[in-house]
Structure 1
């Protein structure tokens, strides 16, 4: 348990409208369903509330932003600082002229894909294959099934650590493979995408095909974190993991998926240390067998348990 800083925060932020929770469990925020507490969990009411919080938050307090937690592992010692959960106030989705769609950073990728399909906007179906939120897609140039965020983004908006509102054009995002060069202290709040004309029935059929492909090749409906490692240039991470003999490798309740070995699974009682330790063992074996240094795609944060 961390020191309770919520009384001091409330005193310094009398006009705050969002919710503050001290020593909040983070396991429910992560698809792995494991991890230690957040010293304080803040759920802002909207963008203005977020900016107000950041302007008045002591600069020495670390900040972690969480969406659906599909690509996140919070270590067992928890997060000493503020965890910001972008919830309902950041989940709006609106169709705009010119085959464009605007979405809050807390909106689920699948819901944005569905809204685009229903509006006859093609080009965003790939979002159906990303189990996260728009904020994560912006930060990591999320992609799947032949599409990437960079292919459809017009601009992104966010708030800096000092509470300043900022806007980034496509060029300013600095997209590369699973990465954007926007400073880490920027919290994305919304994005504007542009697709192309399409027929809703055809787009929905494409999305259904993606759904079926995911279900048949990935361990959906399990306690997992999505793709564990980035694909090295010209290689497939899962093939390297498989060739290293790691398919099905298990440490306690943490296991490399039998179905898709670039996924790690928590079978129920695995700690964050178990999951991270298993991932590091996979990296070691791939390094020894293929001479390739796999890079984590899952974001691992917080402190380990003493």
Structure 2
């Protein structure tokens, strides 16, 4: 039996297999997967009437991943059938406070004890002191766009724009900034964005906020639902100066067909969105 031999030989195919085994073939096939993430996405706080939201999405907006799962367990327990959702959320907040408190380093405890709510630059409409965690979790829509060499994330909050490089090492000359230096990669069907070189801006915790250290690293993991209408995020903050274990937040957003981002206008002295 005659065997087919490609006119260019088998060497390119063997090379491609070797590259994939080494874990570097992702960028070659990432374009189509990344395209599915494009569009405007809306959080639950501004679209509560959308029937696609789950009870835990509406009740646990801004929860840690562990708190969100704890609420799911509480909702699934028949013994809680007669308890209000407010009571269950209070249980979750207490659970989260204990969890986070146990992970704080002495330096973080000292910073939290010194927390002053009036010492917040956002009150005077200065975004420079507002950290990446708050930027990502803000209860306003954002947009994901494909651009040459990566992604662009546009946020209604502060009218911020993040450029995310695809599988490209950050420039050695990049200076620390409020939104840091971000790179993206596909891990299976999950979009992973890793950010370093952050200015030590504040991160919110139960009882106040603390400044992240220059060693902080934030990892976003975005997973699409099968129908492409829901985007789930796991947001992990690594900062050994402040946390003995990484802080893991979660949020979910829904596709906002026909939506565009509005111009964000901050009202000084309010500190509100």
TM-score (norm. length: structure 1)? 0.23
**TM-score normalised to structure 2 length:** 0.25
